[in-house]
Chains A and B, each alone.
Chain A
């Protein structure tokens, strides 16, 4: 137990301050009566009221009494501690007194805001003040510990968000570890052809940033890697990264493609993930020509050598630099960082979940991501938009809101689909001169230049039908529909049902949280929202931080958004991480647990329960020992300890019981 510092000899001198909070409290609580009541409580030497205790004059009231020696402990009855506990603690500290000799009684959120009855409100307020006064006598002075912050940062996810955050931090001199699970960085943006509303080529604006990541000496780029272990706390994280074997030596490979050309499989035989399954790749491959790092990778699940051990291994011979090492094994890297930014991105909605759109049942129905690859010059069809029979389509239907705005799939709007549907309408029309029909519910174009983009499309002879598509099928009613897919929808603006025969359908699928989002969030000890996105601390005012200090969010993993918003958020996350690191230290709340050595029987119940691994077993004394720097004050061990040896500062059993006694004595 820490020595008692700065306490007076003899009884405590408690000052009670009741706040009116304008009329917020005083309309439902008789403040003056409460002040009189408090005056008569044991050990109370001063009892005052003020209109706004949190204001400067309010705080000065407290400080004056402290400096004059009239009081040495403070009770403020006002709003919730979440609002102003920090304010009043600072005020007490400002008068050179220990800030933890302070207790708040919540008579606003817990009293005046939940009743219409002034009498009942006053009674409850007095009971709460009595409780706080009884408790404060048992407070002891405590000190906050300072822990230094490790200056490195871990960024999980190498899409546009992760890349931008990494570059921002690296440019400010911080050392960044960028961990990406695919063999290359680039994320979804690398798959796009053009980006709205400028119709910039996605690769052209992305690849310079990817090269910059590779070239920056402050960024350690680990692709084909996953985070498998996270321990520690803000400023002091211990991370385990698993580097999956690519069987190619990254330092030797120059991406010349010789090994890929030499592969025993003459044609691709594995679904190409980069081309969203529209083409096949070989077991040894480079995801796309601008992959970063430009290093080949062998997929051991489909490589013949790994499956049968009987391959002639032409690839090994073909490599002039002898970069292929089939004996490479998985490596676990252990690093220490001070802050973590999660930029793991999103996945597209699986259109199979909407059976009435016929995805997977009828040919020539594609998702938007598949069409992006098709339209891309380095994609599976060389930039030609073609049907399964190789012919270009004459009519194309683009269906908005697939998997969004729907109670059966996802309730939310995915934000980007209207814009990219307009973009695809433009690109398809440009390439094929087909008649394009966009079926939408609302046209959502909120960004800069977005509404203008919509107007551009309106003037390109694209048909816009405001009506959610009911069904897509191949049964026909008129000769014009023979051999085509028929889209049935109500044209709500004109007020009639229409049947549009099309050759090709593009389903504008929404964005969803990745399937492993729940596992990832558990690994990093943060929360997910109801829809599966990582949860931000506050939707308006804290969109990039989480409730776990030191872990920040960037990009689509926090919610559906377009590229400008991803980049903005990545910059914000980098800035907040930077702020943490530049400050250099973290002050820990002193509500840590402590052990009464005499009562501890060495049962070890607490050790396994601690989520922060702050408790260890002292083999010499045969009792538990707490590392105060690691303890976060969650209280789990305290509740579990069968002998009551574990107590928590600011929440000792005596303090809690005294509060209860305070209420009961009044009631």
Chain B
């Protein structure tokens, strides 16, 4: 017999973050999320919603209500494949895909995301690749991804890897642009600049404005 684990489902206001909605809404056209009527078209269109822990519609509701920890720690935002099906059909023109990206960026900045989940790891590895050399080396990327998340899975992929290798579609060579120093100078100045404004940045902006 299963043991009752005493789940507590009530959420108190003190646990929520009232500034979270404004943080997400600080992206261009992000404020449209306040027009959400919770119709569910986004979740209905999304081909991945059956696999998500929270459907896209629920994520918007949670953002509005301030369930910051839940949203940033969910798998949903990472599972989003950015197919834009939700955004083009939303009757209120809410830029859902961009909101998902904003949540991901905020999650990485604040360090709240499911650890050892392959998708954020992939994003990070991709990012490091390109930051360094300006191009992505697909073979190396996949290798590092599996090594960092589940090395055993790597063995299962060997036949696929061999097939690709035989057809000249796999290489472990490091791809790079020539003028990497130019790229580094360019990206360095954008280190601290963000489109999703955190709570403190928003407060600072308000101060400056008034």
Contact = CB atoms under 8 A, between A and B. Distances in A.
A492 B37 CA distance: 12
Contact of B44 (A405, A442, A488): A488
Interface in B2-46: 37-41, 43-46
A466 B37 CA distance: 12
Nearest to B39: A468
B44 A489 contact: yes
Interface residues of B, number: 18
Given A356-B89, A406-B91, A468 B41 contact: yes
Interface stretch (B50-58, B117-125, B138-146, B166-174): B50-58
B137 interface: no
Given A441-B39, A466-B40, A490-B40, A497 B50 contact: yes
A109 to B, nearest CB: 28
B49 interface: yes
B92 interface: yes
Interface string A413-443: 0000000000000000000000000000110
A441 B37 contact: yes
Nearest to A409: B91
Interface in A434-454: 441-442
Given A407-B92, A489-B44, A497 B55 contact: yes
Contacts of A466: 40
B122 to A, nearest CB: 25
Contacts of A497: 43-44, 46, 49-50, 55
Contacts of A405: 37, 39, 91
Contact of A490 (B43, B89, B92, B93): B43
Nearest to A441: B39
Interface string B78-109: 00000000000101110000000000000000
A129 B39 CA distance: 56
A388 interface: no
Contact of A492 (B38, B45, B89, B92): B38
A11 interface: no
A553 to B, nearest CB: 28
A637 to B, nearest CB: 46
A467 B41 CA distance: 7
B44 A407 contact: no
Nearest to A406: B91
A487 to B, nearest CB: 9
Which residue, B57, B89, B91, has most C-beta atoms of chain A within 10 A? B91
Contacts of B93: 407-408
Contact of A489 (B38, B40, B50, B92): B40
A469 B43 CA distance: 10
A579 interface: no
A376 B91 CA distance: 33
A401 B93 CA distance: 16
Contacts of A489: 40, 44
A470 interface: yes
A468 B92 contact: no
A207 B105 CA distance: 65
A339 B46 CA distance: 55
Given A488-B44, A489-B40, A470 B89 contact: yes
Contacts of B44: 467-471, 488-490, 497
B74 to A, nearest CB: 14
Contacts of A491: 40
B92 A467 contact: no
A495 B50 CA distance: 10
Contacts of A492: 38-40, 43, 57
Interface string A131-150: 00000000000000000000
Nearest to B85: A470
Nearest to A404: B91
Contacts of B89: 356, 470
Nearest to B49: A497
Contact of B55 (A406, A442, A469, A495): A495
B39 A467 contact: yes
B45 A471 contact: yes
A407 B55 contact: no
Contacts of B39: 401, 405, 441, 467-468, 492
A405 B45 CA distance: 17
A426 B149 CA distance: 55
A490 B91 contact: no
A490 B49 contact: yes
Contacts of B92: 407
A488 B89 CA distance: 14
A470 B57 contact: no
A559 to B, nearest CB: 20
Nearest to A400: B39
Given A406-B91, A407-B91, A470 B45 contact: yes
A498 to B, nearest CB: 9
Contacts of A469: 41, 44
Given A495-B55, A497-B44, 6 more contacts: A405-B37, A467-B39, A468-B41, A488-B45, A490-B43, A492-B40
13 contacts: A401-B39, A407-B93, A441-B39, A467-B44, A468-B39, A468-B91, A470-B45, A471-B44, A490-B44, A491-B40, A492-B38, A492-B39, A497-B46
The 5 A-B residue pairs with the shortest CB-CB distance in the complex, in nearest-first order: A470-B44, A490-B43, A406-B91, A490-B40, A468-B39
